[in-house]
Chain A
Amino acid sequence: MNVTINGAAHELPPGATVTQAVQRLTEIRSGVAVAVNDEVVSRGAWDSTPLAEADRVEVLTAVQGG
């Protein structure tokens, strides 16, 4: 299954969840938020939210700015 994580192409096993997408970037869960196709997925739902082919996953955190 091919998905986009923060703009880069990734291949994940079929049925992979949001958690597995996040783990491609970091093991840390705090201070991180995820949107799939522009919809926020709350942290409590990462394990139970499966991804689909061509999903766009955005993994954000706080940085210096503003």
Chain B
Amino acid sequence: MNDDLLLGGEKFSSRLIMGTGGAPSLDVLEQALAASGTELTTVAMRRLDPSARGSVLDVLSRRGIKVLPNTAGCFTSGEAVLTARLAREALETNWVKLEVISDERTLLPDPIETFDAAERLVADGFVVLPYIGDDPALARRMEQAGCAAVMPLGAPIGSGLGIRNPHNIELIVESANVPVILDAGIGTASDAALAMELGCDAVLLATAVTRAHRPDLMAQAMRSAVVAGRLARSAGRIPRRRYAEASSPMVP
């Protein structure tokens, strides 16, 4: 069964998008990315360090993974737009994971700055994938602004708290006409499966894998969880009942 993810006019057979933050080394990262089966992976843009050895870009190109630059670390729309333009220049892609945070402690996305940056980047020809709160009204506005997807959080970045408001994620999924990608908060495989069961089109995660005791094993677990959750969603779960319903014929 062909069940490709259609995102920004491109097809992906994997619905697991990976981040690269938190890995102890490029070797560990490469093994984890390979185990995850991901076809799209985010990187950050930072000042070039002449003493750095090896590059995350080499890892992605060796593995045939599409690079998705992000605007991590930006606090204002202006910073995010400049970072996206620099990324487009450096990496020759007009795709951007738009991330504008409000403060260092929670790393929660700033909806006003994010929306402003999204409008400017869409007008500048970018494929904009915005990281947002789990707010159905904001998700709709982001879609109307021309974003190629919406990426609501499950919980704060790196928290591993899972999906704190599954009801809101369902509401976002119900009304979205662009892919919904659950971004941030995933702690373990069941969280990723739940995101897909709720109807998300893909999951984006990093820390849960890169800071796991065995990143390669957790990457494999996430890969399976996303597939399992997607299959369960497509299959249609049974209704919840308050009492038992016998699955064997009753004794006459």
Interfacial residues, chain A to chain B (CB-CB below 8 A): 6-7, 25-26, 31-35, 38, 40, 42-43, 58-66
Contacts and interface: CB of A to CB of B under 8 A. Distances in A.
A40 B70 CA distance: 17
A20 to B, nearest CB: 15
B114 interface: no
Contacts of B56: 62-64
Closest 9 CB pairs of A and B: A65-B44, A33-B90, A33-B89, A66-B72, A66-B70, A33-B86, A62-B43, A64-B20, A6-B47
A61 B89 contact: no
A62 B55 contact: yes
Nearest to A44: B89
Interface of B: 19-23, 26, 29, 42-48, 50, 52, 55-57, 67, 69-70, 72-73, 82, 85-91, 97, 99, 206
The B interface, classified by DSSP as helix, strand, loop or mixed, is mixed
A24 B12 CA distance: 40
Contacts of A34: 86, 89
Nearest to B60: A62
B156 to A, nearest CB: 14
Given A62-B55, A65-B72, A66-B206, A42 B89 contact: yes
5 contacts: A35-B82, A40-B85, A59-B48, A63-B45, A65-B21
